[in-house]
Chains A and B, each alone.
Chain A
Amino acid sequence: MTNPGDPPAAPSAAPSFLDRATPLGIDAVYHNGEEAGRCSILESLGGGVGWFDYDRDGWLDLVATGGGRFTAGPALRGEPTTLWRSVPGAEGPGRHFAGVAGVAGLDTLPLYTHGVAIGDFDNDGFPDLVVTGYGLAQLWHNLGDGGFAPVSDWPAAADPRWSSSAGWADLDGDGDLDLYLARYVDWSFEHDPFCGRSPEERDICPPREFEGLPDSIYRNEGDGTFVEVSREAGLRTDGKGLGVLLADVNLDGHVDVYVGNDTTDNFLYVNDGDGTFTEQGLVAGVALDDQGVPNGSMGIDLCDFNRDGRPDIWVANYERESFALYRNEGRGQFLHVSRRHGITALGGLFVGFGTACTDLDFDGRIDIVVANGHVIKFPDASPRRQAPLLLAFDGERFQRAAAAPGTFFAEPQEGRGLATGDYDRDGDIDLAISRLNEPVAVLENLMPRRGRPVVVELVGTRSNRDAIGTRVSLDAAGEPPLETQLTGGGSYLSHGHRAVHIRLPETDALPVDTSRPVRVVVRWPSGTVTTADVPTVSSSEDPPAALRLVEPAVDVQPPPPEPRS
């Protein structure tokens, strides 16, 4: 099969990832129930994956939603969410994964699931879990003993509206995590119109056939309870939310919320500093594409692709729409620059979902990865199964890296959720991708490394323990500063592990001033600013250096001025 937009040549390093799910022991499949032949829009969203160290043993574990099936009635039957714990190999060195959802108690709710959002809502050091889906969104409390318990009295448990992506962040600045929950449309068995060219070619209805559902914010009361504050927070009641990103996009010290909506304007909720928001998507230039048209937006990420110190927004969109790169112009303004930086040259055949922009090959520049796949059964222009994309930035343009035949990035598939995480602790970023009705792929990053990896873990004290909203600036001699931010949400229905992966230039390859230490400046959500020297690693072959930074409990210094305005 020909993949849409196959590159004519190999402009950059081939994406070298190996699917190791089977040898690692991971056997997770997302079922959308399509075998029932209903062709409902419910089947189109797919599932998510999340990397997190739920047992705090230092190794990343994986959670994957299971979806569900249609049964007589008609009704829905959920397929269990699965949890895969990283454990030492039985024979010799190395790790593998053991399925522990049953032990952990995650397989008890029959929810037709979509996404995961992970955050330590009670600041006890053990990451908790929200699973979204049709019928309710379930919050699971990590008990710290290997088990999870459903939080039964949280408001979303009694709210049957269809939820998609979610993200955690401290939205009201009180030091604990609140939850933003995106909701999609008002599909139900009673509202399930026929779409398609003929009864023989019934197809998934487009979102315009349905009304959007209002998103929700659940405020963490600090005592293990949550209150829905969507109205007080100023949320709009329209939108068809699929992707959510919680980050300080305007660098004012407060976490904002960006929502990717399907065919309607994307929202940018600018945090007013007190847990209320002003929706500024149109004002900021991130609601529409460069033609002033709303897109079918799915996956989202934040990155400073041009290293100007300002976070840019990346959005994976529907076919015949360009994926959107919104360059942060300062003053709270963004500009759609997909054309400027080579994104439109990909063509419009991809339907993009899970995504991440991060430095996958350690060349010091941002790469973008996107899991693709169509949502309808009889598409005209592009196939249902689509190859994932790896886009490498050369300083001016993003170019699609050509994948060797037979490799994962050359294989058409129905990709949905995507999560980043260094599951093998070798310093580079691996991937997990959820696909419709086939096993979750766990992709080991085998890209040749061109620098020294350092992994920075952040622990908030006055700020939320997950340090979501923390900005990290790396000041390495010989290179422009690199700004990174720990975000909530992001990608699509998925959770990437929150750690800052730093690549330092190899001292023997670049004109580095070795007399000057490489330093990170950390701006915590509380306003505290700390600095730390990065430990040295002599070569790219060494194990990655780890830097664990804990926020001081008291102010250690006044915040310095911003490096750039």
Chain B
Amino acid sequence: MAICVGTHVGPVGCRPSSADPPRLVDAGLAAVGRGDHATARQVMHDLRAAGAADASFVVQAAILVAKGHPIPALDVLAQVASSAWLDPPRRLVAATACQQLGRHRDVESLLTPLVAANPDLVDPHRLLAVSFYDVGAVQEAVHHLRETARLAPDDPRPHRLLGLMHSDYELFAEAIPCYEESLRRNPHQPDREEILLELATCLIRQLRPADAFDVLSTAAAGVRVDLARAECLLALGRRDEARRLVQSAVAAEPDNRAALVLEGSILLEDGDAEAAVIPLERAVAVDPHDYLATLSLARALAQLGREDEATATRALADEIRTLRSTFAELHREAWERPHDSEVRLRLADTAARLGREDLEQVWREAAAAVAPDAPASTNDTPARSEEAD
């Protein structure tokens, strides 16, 4: 995360010629943002030499945060006396430290006054967006992402995150223009391949297979891209090409769940339920919580007259479906209630039952971050919290 309030900063990479503390702080933070810690340390010394020890602490804290030491950073910031001109960078650095510690309420309370006073500060918006996103407060995250995108017109990341958020909530029509804008802003960004795949997936879900296929034509080859292409080709009726891609994917990655489900569904559509059972059983073995794999397997078993197995498998699919539905409903509740830790804990529990340990962890952290007893300072730099220790 770049840290640059940007109100005084001079040309990037140039050491300020004057000993003006505000300019020095901006320069120091800009250096930290570039990863140029040597210059930042020199700025610290210059500030101390100029008698601006508090400003020096802010730059020092920024360096600590950049190195992944948020608690010492907060300790350093605790020494900073209140000062009007130093308040914005101090809050931003403190909020960045709190974000690293998962202390969303602190991030919110530190930065909200800042953007209220100056809505054109891009970094506070950016940090608030990430923080709100992490705790599942979607409306707030979307607001700050849109502000970030406005203030940083060449930055492709806000729209990528907007796309991800919308597709998380299956709002594919809304996600598509976000991904497209992200690609437009920087077609050569490091995440380009991922974005192309995410965009194509949304287009497929919107029944726009021809558009998705076009998007994928510029993506680098790989199993995931090949599977997305296969889905497009299937929807377009080019089954032989699709079948070849899926077979190659299964050969390359025999435990690729998506490839196995696709292979099974093609075989089912071709009327070969007996053959379809094999990849579908494998897919369910790979991921027992995969709804589509389980449902498709139930269908294949039923077609083969294996009624008892079909019934049991269908019951499993139904259970997964119910959990997914609960998860989606809780998502909406979390969206509407950004400070409700209880709903986030229920999301974590549901994620665990869906076999998504990664999401379980995310939601447990989100619950902790918005918990009523989580530290939430107002104006002062938050102290080290016990859980942070």
Q: Name A's B-contacting residues (CB within 8 A).
A: 282-283, 285, 288, 290-292, 320-322, 329-331, 333, 335, 337, 339-340, 342, 344-345, 347-349, 380-381, 397
Cβ of B303 within 8 Å of any chain A Cβ, yes or no, is: yes
Contact between chains at B209 and A291 (CB < 8 Å): no
The contact sample of 12 A-B pairs, CB cut-off 8 A, is A283-B314, A288-B295, A320-B173, A333-B299, A337-B269, A339-B269, A340-B269, A345-B237, A347-B209, A347-B210, A348-B207, A381-B206
Chain B, residue nearest A319 (CB): B207
B297 to chain A, nearest CB (A): 12
When distances are taken between beta carbons in the complex, the residues of chain B under 8 Å from A290 are 265
When distances are taken between beta carbons in the complex, the residues of chain A under 8 Å from B235 are 339, 344-345
Inter-chain CA distance A321–B237, complex, in Å, is: 17
When distances are taken between beta carbons in the complex, the residues of chain A under 8 Å from B295 are 288, 292
Cβ of B222 within 8 Å of any chain A Cβ, yes or no, is: no
When distances are taken between beta carbons in the complex, the residues of chain B under 8 Å from A283 are 302, 314
Partner of A381 from B173, B205, B210, B239 at Cβ < 8 Å? B173
When distances are taken between beta carbons in the complex, the residues of chain A under 8 Å from B69 are none
If the complex has contacts A282-B314, A337-B269, A342-B237, are A320 and B302 also in contact, measured as CB distance less than 8 A? no
Contact between chains at A345 and B236 (CB < 8 Å): yes
A23 to chain B, nearest CB (A): 39
Chain B, residue nearest A329 (CB): B303
When distances are taken between beta carbons in the complex, the residues of chain B under 8 Å from A348 are 206-208
**In the complex, which residues 239-296 of chain B have their Cβ closer than 8 Å to any Cβ of chain A?**
239, 265, 268-271, 273, 291-292, 295
A75 to chain B, nearest CB (A): 35
Contact between chains at B299 and A285 (CB < 8 Å): yes
Contact between chains at A335 and B303 (CB < 8 Å): yes
Cβ of B190 within 8 Å of any chain A Cβ, yes or no, is: no
Looking at B207, B235, B305, B317, the one whose CB has the most chain A CB atoms below 10 A away is B207
Inter-chain CA distance A381–B303, complex, in Å, is: 37
Looking at A322, A330, A348, the one whose CB has the most chain B CB atoms below 10 A away is A348
Chain A, residue nearest B271 (CB): A329
A524 to chain B, nearest CB (A): 29
Contact between chains at B207 and A344 (CB < 8 Å): yes
Contact between chains at B207 and A292 (CB < 8 Å): no
Contact between chains at B303 and A333 (CB < 8 Å): yes
When distances are taken between beta carbons in the complex, the residues of chain A under 8 Å from B305 are 331
When distances are taken between beta carbons in the complex, the residues of chain A under 8 Å from B292 are 291-292
Partner of A380 from B173, B302, B321 at Cβ < 8 Å? B173
Sample of 9 further A-B pairs with CB below 8 A, known A340-B270, A345-B209, A347-B209: A282-B314, A282-B318, A292-B317, A292-B321, A335-B268, A337-B269, A340-B269, A347-B208, A348-B208
Chain A, residue nearest B305 (CB): A331
Chain A, residue nearest B324 (CB): A292
Cβ of B234 within 8 Å of any chain A Cβ, yes or no, is: yes
How many positions in chain B have a CB within 8 Å of any CB in the partner chain?
30
Chain B, residue nearest A337 (CB): B269
Contact between chains at B299 and A321 (CB < 8 Å): no
Inter-chain CA distance A508–B184, complex, in Å, is: 62
Looking at A339, A348, A381, the one whose CB has the most chain B CB atoms below 10 A away is A339
Partner of A335 from B205, B299, B314 at Cβ < 8 Å? B299
When distances are taken between beta carbons in the complex, the residues of chain B under 8 Å from A291 are 292
Inter-chain CA distance A470–B253, complex, in Å, is: 51
A122 to chain B, nearest CB (A): 41
Contact between chains at B207 and A347 (CB < 8 Å): yes
When distances are taken between beta carbons in the complex, the residues of chain A under 8 Å from B234 are 339, 344
Partner of A285 from B265, B271, B302, B318 at Cβ < 8 Å? B302
If the complex has contacts A331-B303, A347-B207, A348-B208, are A292 and B237 also in contact, measured as CB distance less than 8 A? no
Chain B, residue nearest A306 (CB): B271
Contact between chains at A397 and B208 (CB < 8 Å): no
Inter-chain CA distance A95–B268, complex, in Å, is: 50
Inter-chain CA distance A381–B291, complex, in Å, is: 28
When distances are taken between beta carbons in the complex, the residues of chain A under 8 Å from B273 are 329
Instruction: Fill in one digit per residue for B299-330: 1 if any A CB lies within 8 Å of its CB, else 0.
Output: 10011010000000010011001000000000
If the complex has contacts A320-B173, A342-B237, A345-B236, are A331 and B208 also in contact, measured as CB distance less than 8 A? no
Inter-chain CA distance A283–B315, complex, in Å, is: 10
Contact between chains at A397 and B237 (CB < 8 Å): yes
When distances are taken between beta carbons in the complex, the residues of chain B under 8 Å from A380 are 173
Chain A, residue nearest B206 (CB): A320
Chain A, residue nearest B317 (CB): A292
Chain B, residue nearest A338 (CB): B235
Inter-chain CA distance A278–B291, complex, in Å, is: 24
Inter-chain CA distance A397–B265, complex, in Å, is: 18
B332 to chain A, nearest CB (A): 11
A332 to chain B, nearest CB (A): 8
If the complex has contacts A291-B292, A344-B207, are A335 and B269 also in contact, measured as CB distance less than 8 A? yes
A286 to chain B, nearest CB (A): 11
Contact between chains at B317 and A333 (CB < 8 Å): no
Chain A, residue nearest B231 (CB): A339
Inter-chain CA distance A530–B167, complex, in Å, is: 57
Chain B, residue nearest A291 (CB): B292
Instruction: Fill in one digit per residue for B109-129: 1 if any A CB lies within 8 Å of its CB, else 0.
Output: 000000000000000000000
Partner of B209 from A285, A335, A344, A381 at Cβ < 8 Å? A344
Inter-chain CA distance A265–B210, complex, in Å, is: 29
Instruction: Fill in one digit per residue for B202-216: 1 if any A CB lies within 8 Å of its CB, else 0.
Output: 000111111000000
B169 to chain A, nearest CB (A): 14
A65 to chain B, nearest CB (A): 31
Looking at B172, B302, B305, the one whose CB has the most chain A CB atoms below 10 A away is B302
Contact between chains at B291 and A292 (CB < 8 Å): yes
Inter-chain CA distance A201–B292, complex, in Å, is: 37
Partner of B207 from A320, A331, A397 at Cβ < 8 Å? A320
Inter-chain CA distance A166–B305, complex, in Å, is: 34
Per CB-CB distance, the 9 closest pairs between chain A and chain B, nearest first, are: A348-B207, A340-B269, A344-B235, A292-B295, A342-B237, A333-B302, A345-B237, A333-B303, A329-B303
Inter-chain CA distance A286–B111, complex, in Å, is: 52
**In the complex, which residues 191-234 of chain B have their Cβ closer than 8 Å to any Cβ of chain A?**
205-210, 234
B303 to chain A, nearest CB (A): 5
Chain B, residue nearest A348 (CB): B207
A542 to chain B, nearest CB (A): 38
When distances are taken between beta carbons in the complex, the residues of chain A under 8 Å from B265 are 290
Inter-chain CA distance A340–B317, complex, in Å, is: 23
Inter-chain CA distance A292–B235, complex, in Å, is: 16
When distances are taken between beta carbons in the complex, the residues of chain B under 8 Å from A285 are 299, 302
B26 to chain A, nearest CB (A): 40
Inter-chain CA distance A335–B273, complex, in Å, is: 11
Inter-chain CA distance A342–B291, complex, in Å, is: 25
Inter-chain CA distance A339–B237, complex, in Å, is: 7
Inter-chain CA distance A348–B317, complex, in Å, is: 26
Inter-chain CA distance A345–B273, complex, in Å, is: 24
A37 to chain B, nearest CB (A): 26
